[in-house]
């Protein structure tokens, strides 16, 4: 028996939804709602623990393993993420990167690209890494008075991340300097609402 998938390949979930498309639609609805709630709290992430909290909030009503760091090797589409024996070192590295960031001055695209690349390679969860990481980095940027968005298609970003092409990742990140945390969070929430 597969620990994560039903026999048809759909991820096992708390709702026992076995149709992948129905699960995708439900996930989208839940993640959108909880992303908005998280943004409304205006929390600034400081460590991988915060990424776990975000993942648990977004996916906890759907998956038993939400918010838990994986304890197995993971590959998708032929791309192998950080091996399980190196996860604690990877987590420590990212936590150190986060601690070294300036507290209130804006962060540049290169730093965001490095963090995004490192978080992608860490890939701490079975599913939902991209959505959790995106919210994590957007909240981090908001704490620096910035609105962080990704300009081109998700596929372009995924391809650049699989190649660890930092210069390409950097070009796919857009930063709007808005001058303050509250305004940055408000703009992110407006974008979530399509305003």
Tally of residues, the chain: 195
The pLDDT of residue 152 = 55
Scanning the structure block, which residue is given the tokens 């945390």?
A: 181
Residue 125 pLDDT greater than 80, yes or no:
yes
Q: Report d(CA 29, CA 14) in Å as an integer.
A: 16
* DSSP type of residue 68: P
Three-class DSSP category at 19: coil
- pLDDT for res 153: 63
Q: Does 150 score more than 90 pLDDT?
A: no
Residue 195: pLDDT over 70 = no
pLDDT at residue 89 tops 60: yes
Alpha-carbon span 141 to 2, nearest angstrom: 38
* Greater pLDDT, 133 or 195: 133
190 vs 154, residue with greater confidence: 190
Q: pLDDT tens-digit profile of 22-71?
A: 999 999 999 988 998 898 889 999 999 999 999 999 999 999 999 999 99
Burial class (CB within 10 angstroms; exposed 0-12, middle 13-18, buried 19+) of 189: middle
Measure Cα distances from 10 to 18, 50, 75, 82, 97 in Å.
6, 28, 17, 24, 36
Percent of the chain with pLDDT over 70: 96
For residues 108 and 106, the model is more confident at 108
* Domain spans of the chain, in order of start: 20-194
User: Hey, what's the torsion of the CAs at 13, 19, 24, 29, to 10 degrees?
Assistant: -80
Look at residue 167 in the predicted model and tell me its pLDDT: 94
pLDDT at residue 181, as a whole number:
92
Nearest CA to 175 among 119, 113, 118? 113
pLDDT of 106: 83
Task: Give this prediction's pTM.
Answer: 0.93
Q: What is the mean pLDDT of the chain?
A: 92
pLDDT (0 to 100) of residue 36:
86
Whether the per-residue pLDDT at 179 is higher than 90: the answer is no
pLDDT bracket for residue 138 (50, 70, 90)? very high
Fold of 20-194: Fic-like fold (1.10.3290)
Does the structure show a pLDDT above 90 at 11?
A: yes
Dist CA 49 CA 91 (whole Å): 9
């Amino acid at each position: 028996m597969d620990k994560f998938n039903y026999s048809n390949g759909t991820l096992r979930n708390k709702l026992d939804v076995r149709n992948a498309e129905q699960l995708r639609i439900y996930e989208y609805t839940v993640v959108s709602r909880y992303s908005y709630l998280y943004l409304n709290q205006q929390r600034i992430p400081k460590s991988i623990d915060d990424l776990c909290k975000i993942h648990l909030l977004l996916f906890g009503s759907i998956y038993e393993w939400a918010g838990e760091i994986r304890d197995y090797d993971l590959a998708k589409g032929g791309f192998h993420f950080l091996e399980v024996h190196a996860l604690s070192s990877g987590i420590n590295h990212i936590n150190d990167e986060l601690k070294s960031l300036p507290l209130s001055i804006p962060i540049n695209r290169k730093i965001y690209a490095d963090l995004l690349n490192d978080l992608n390679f860490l890939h701490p969860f079975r599913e939902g890494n991209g959505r959790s990481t995106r919210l994590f980095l957007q909240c981090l940027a908001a704490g620096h008075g910035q609105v962080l968005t990704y300009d081109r298609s998700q596929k372009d970003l995924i391809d650049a991340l699989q190649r660890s092409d930092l210069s390409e990742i950097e070009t796919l990140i857009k930063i709007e300097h808005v001058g303050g945390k509250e305004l940055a969070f408000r703009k992110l929430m407006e974008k979530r609402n399509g305003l």
